[in-house]
Amino acid sequence: MTTVLGTSLDLPTQDGTADAYLVHPDDNSPHPGVLLYMDAFGLRPHLRAMADRIAAAGYTVLVPNVFYRNGRAPIMELPDFIDPSQRPDIFETLGPLIFALTPELVVRDAEAYLGWLADSPLVTDGPVGVTGYCMGAGLALRTAGTFPQRVAAAAGFHGGRMATDAPDSPHLLAENITAELYFGHADQDPGMPAEQIERLNKALTAAGVRHEAEVYAGAQHGFTQADTAAYHADADARHWEAVLSLLNRTL
């Protein structure tokens, strides 16, 4: 297994400074860049471990705290094992932050994150990959649709609200996308019901986007997050195979 080197950094944006986690193979060489968009629970040991695993496969991985406008991570103290049913206060705190992250802010931030990767000597020249979890899946889709020249691959897992009736729904950017996409949906996810999955697939197909979307049977929203009650080991293993295969194929 490749040894990786992880560090915290501060990344300038149009609206301030985003704290972030950066990890890459410990070999003093540049590697293809990957932008990893967090789930709602944010930068924490489990998410850093996920980034480490991608880096060990040969990538330089940037994980920004997308809630940086509300403070440095952790935005709130979380238990080692997160079970929102036992802690309703978690989403009472995080819910407003998710909805405050408007499409305009997402795009401004994505430009800063992609710009940082483009300028880093730790990252090879050329487009990058993006992967996102929970709310991060929608951020990955929006980033691929807004910066097609910068994104060669994008993946999203247990994402919600990616193909709504809203005029700024991320699926409406499909015609701009040049990346190859992969989505792993949970079949027990009220945030991404069957009609939204179908709407997303139709938009991508109509736009000629190379994509694959799979529905993971028995999985709940959050199935990749091993430090939460939603974790599903089989679905998580399937997710790792899918995301690493996509990155290896495109980057």
Query: pLDDT value at position 240?
Result: 98
Over pLDDT 70: what percentage of the chain?
100
The model's pTM: 0.98
Query: pLDDT value at position 128?
Result: 98
Over pLDDT 90: what percentage of the chain?
96
Query: pLDDT value at position 10?
Result: 98
Query: pLDDT value at position 86?
Result: 85
Length of the chain in residues, anyone?
Answer: 251
Query: pLDDT value at position 232?
Result: 97
Q: Which ranges of 57-102 would DSSP assign to H, the alpha helix?
A: 89-100
Tell me the per-residue pLDDT of 28-61, one tens digit each, with 9 for 90 and over. Answer: 999 999 999 999 999 999 999 999 999 999 999 9
- For the chain, the structural domain boundaries read 4-250
Query: pLDDT value at position 84?
Result: 85
Query: pLDDT value at position 87?
Result: 86
Q: Is the pLDDT of residue 161 over 80?
A: yes
User: φ and ψ at 223, to 5 degrees?
Assistant: -65, -20
Tell me the per-residue pLDDT of 216-227, one tens digit each, with 9 for 90 and over. Answer: 999 999 999 999
User: In the chain, what is the greatest distance between 2 CA atoms, to the nearest angstrom?
Assistant: 47
Q: How far apart are CA 132 and CA 154, in angstroms?
A: 8
Query: pLDDT value at position 36?
Result: 99
Query: pLDDT value at position 12?
Result: 97
- Assigned superfamily of 4-250: Alpha/Beta hydrolase fold, catalytic domain (3.40.50.1820)
User: Nearest Cα to 147, choosing from 177, 172, 117, 116?
Assistant: 177
Q: How far apart are CA 23 and CA 55, in angstroms?
A: 6
Query: pLDDT value at position 56?
Result: 98
Cα separation values, 64 from 9, 11, 171, Å = 9, 8, 23
Q: Is the pLDDT of residue 1 over 80?
A: no
Distance between first and last Cα of the chain: 20
Q: Is the pLDDT of residue 66 over 90?
A: yes
Query: pLDDT value at position 236?
Result: 98
User: Nearest Cα to 153, choosing from 11, 33, 48, 23?
Assistant: 33
Angle between helices 135-146 and 103-119 (to 10 degrees): 70
Tell me the per-residue pLDDT of 78-134, one tens digit each, with 9 for 90 and over. Answer: 999 999 888 889 989 999 999 999 999 999 999 999 999 999 999 999 999 999 999
